[in-house]
Amino acid sequence: MHRRDALVLGATGALAMTIGEAVARTPDDLTGKVRHVVNLYAAAWNAADMDAMAALYTGDVHWVNIVGMHWRGKTAVDRAHRVFFEIMFKGVPLRLEEIESVTPLPGGAVVAVVRWSVGAFRTPVGEQVPPSRDRMTLILVPDGDRLRIAHGANVQIDEMAQRSDPISPARE
């Protein structure tokens, strides 16, 4: 359906429109629904409110965190987050920088890439991580008139490596 969107938009005369620009024109209600979930996620994080965070997940959510742990199912994803908030993330500020893309999937699901700014924290093995940024892939599935998180995959941005990005600027 995404290619169809691009065609429709192209037919309006915006022939040079890139995928990124087309995504930016995804209907407001879809982007709005993604923004709603993302704002709730940030609010839950910043309040260290794990009940509110868990309420955003589907029952079979999977999560891959920035060091490559893979948690399967709401019970595991919730438990892991509770442990890590207790020992690592409580009080660490999370701020939305940008919803970089919102791409519809068949059946009403959406994949979004969201860029976060994260405050400094100390890992369980004692390593101090300075303030950093993450690019988080979220798969969101419809549940009534809202979206729930069916999958998260979070990549910490290596700021030095960004200078070697072959696609410049990052937006294609």
Complex with its own copies: residue 28 or 172, whichever CB lies closer: 172
Examine residue 155 and tell whether it contacts its own copies (CB under 8 A). Answer: yes
- Give the C-alpha separation, 98 to 157, whole Å: 14
Q: Tell me which stretch binds its own copies (CB under 8 A): 8-16, 34-42, 46-54, 118-126.
A: 118-126
Q: Find the shortest distance in angstroms from Cβ 63 to its own copies.
A: 10
Size of the chain in residues: 172
Q: Tell me which stretch binds its own copies (CB under 8 A): 26-34, 43-51, 89-97, 153-161.
A: 153-161
What are the residues facing 155 on neighbouring strands?
135
Total residues contacting its own copies (rule CB under 8 A)? 67
At position 55, the amino acid (one-letter code) is A
**Long-range contacts (CB closer than 8 Å, 24 or more residues apart) made by 114-122:** 114/38, 114/138, 115/157, 116/42, 117/93, 118/92, 118/93, 118/94, 119/92, 119/93, 119/94, 120/92, 121/88, 121/89, 121/92, 122/88
Complex with its own copies: residue 52 or 80, whichever CB lies closer: 80
x/- binding map, residues 88-117, to its own copies, per CB under 8 A? ------------xx-x-xxxxx-x-x----
- Give the C-alpha separation, 90 to 151, whole Å: 22
Placement of tokens 């868990």 in the chain: 54
Examine residue 151 and tell whether it contacts its own copies (CB under 8 A). Answer: yes
Contact 104, 26 (CB under 8 A): yes
Given CA atoms 64, 139, 157, 35 in this order, what sign does their dihedral have? Answer: negative
**Interacting residues with its own copies between 123 and 142 (CB under 8 A):** 123-125, 133-135, 137, 139, 141-142
Site residues (vs its own copies, CB under 8 A): 2-3, 6, 18-20, 22-23, 58-60, 62, 64-73, 75-76, 79-80, 83-84, 100-101, 103, 105-109, 111, 113, 123-125, 133-135, 137, 139, 141-142, 150-151, 153-158, 160-167, 170-172
